């Protein structure tokens, strides 16, 4: 059940280039949010911008967390790309922000105990949505593929190094790691994933990335989920402003904010 509640800004810092981390003290949401779910943030107290902004949660710490000084905190990454996010860069420690969450349907994990390998493929800020999976499956072997246009768009790499992970990086201009898209990188390393293995693949990024990925992971040993990034009006299914066409026979048009944002990759009709 989502909450509409106020949070208190605990930090708002620039990480690199146009990317920032916003931390908030908001126990009602931190206590309940699951990997893959999101929040809707009211950027300012006035009417400009009018609509809330959807953000994946990067890190969250419930009141039961062993580190008492982190309890109730949640963090998001954001990129300064327009009027709303530009205003977000001016938020100061101690300011109040209004949030709705947790929203949407999150990721599904392998049933335990499981010998399945975990593959994470993120493009740009999409990799942020996948970080909570690594936290939830701590100890499991991870294959992490991170992509961006330039090295300034490569996020969370140091965070993933804390886990049992093999990390591969691609930049479209070749400024860091493999030269090409993150899907090109995954294709170049696919031979490490045997036909006899079972793999849970989690992805988030631009539509073009997810469409390309859907075209190459059709074998049964890949169980693929995608978190879709799209514009949203309300965030809880009332406005039908974020529909996506799927292969579902009864309800082909589904709401990213309600039935998603996570869908089986094979269920999306890429037009």
Q: Residue 105 carries which DSSP code?
A: B
Upper half-sphere CA count for residue 64 (Cβ side, 13 Å): 2
Query: Over 80: is that where the pLDDT of 40 sits?
Result: yes
DSSP reduced 3-state for 179: strand
CA–CA dist 61, 212 (Å, integer): 34
Closest CA relative to residue 34, chosen from 268, 222, 246, 262:
262
Query: Could you tell me how many residues make up the chain?
Result: 271
At 47 the pLDDT is 59
SS (H, E, C) 210-235: HHHHHCCCCCCCEEEEEEECCCCCCC
Give pLDDT tens digits for 166-177. 999 999 999 999
DSSP reduced 3-state for 182: helix
Distance set, CA 260 to CA 58, 87, 110, 131, 244 (Å): 18, 28, 18, 18, 9
Q: Are strands 165-171 and 142-148 parallel, antiparallel or unpaired?
A: parallel
At 48 the pLDDT is 62
Give pLDDT tens digits for 79-125. 999 888 999 999 999 999 999 999 999 999 988 767 778 999 999 99
pLDDT bin (cut points 50, 70, 90) of residue 60 is very high
pTM (2 d.p.)? 0.94
The tokens describing 41, both together, are 């943030």
Give pLDDT tens digits for 222-270. 899 999 988 877 877 788 888 999 998 889 999 999 999 999 999 999 8
Can you tell me which residue has the tokens 């400009």? 48
Please check whether residue 249 is in contact with residue 195, taking contact to mean a CB–CB distance below 8 angstroms.
no
Can you tell me which residue has the tokens 């909570």? 132
CA–CA dist 136, 269 (Å, integer): 29
C-alpha Rg value of the chain to the nearest Å: 18
Distance set, CA 56 to CA 19, 59, 128, 141, 168 (Å): 14, 9, 7, 23, 22
């Amino acid at each position: 059940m989502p909450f509409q509640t106020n949070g208190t800004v605990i930090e708002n810092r620039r990480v690199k280039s146009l990317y920032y981390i916003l931390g908030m003290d908001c126990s009602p949401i931190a206590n309940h949010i699951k990997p893959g779910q999101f929040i809707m943030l009211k950027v300012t107290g006035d009417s400009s911008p009018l609509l809330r902004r959807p953000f994946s949660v990067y890190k969250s710490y419930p009141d039961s967390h062993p580190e008492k000084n982190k309890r109730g905190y949640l963090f998001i990454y954001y990129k300064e790309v327009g009027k709303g996010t530009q205003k977000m860069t001016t938020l100061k420690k101690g300011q109040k922000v209004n949030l709705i969450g947790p929203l949407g349907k999150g990721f599904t994990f392998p049933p335990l105990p499981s010998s399945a390998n975990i593959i994470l493929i993120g493009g740009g800020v999409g990799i942020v949505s996948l970080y909570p999976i690594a936290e939830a499956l701590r100890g499991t072997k991870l294959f992490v593929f991170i992509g961006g246009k330039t090295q300034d768009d490569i996020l969370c790499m140091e965070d993933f190094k804390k886990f049992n992970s093999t990390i591969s990086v691609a930049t479209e201009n070749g400024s860091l790691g493999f030269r090409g898209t993150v899907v090109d990188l995954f294709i170049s390393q696919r031979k490490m994933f045997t036909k006899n293995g079972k793999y849970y693949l989690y992805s988030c990024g631009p539509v073009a990335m997810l469409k390309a990925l859907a075209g190459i992971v059709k074998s049964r040993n890949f169980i693929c989920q995608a978190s879709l990034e799209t514009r949203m009006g309300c965030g809880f299914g009332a406005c039908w402003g974020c529909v996506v066409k799927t292969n579902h026979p009864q309800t082909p048009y589904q709401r990213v904010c309600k039935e998603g944002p996570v869908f089986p990759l094979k269920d999306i009709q890429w037009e």
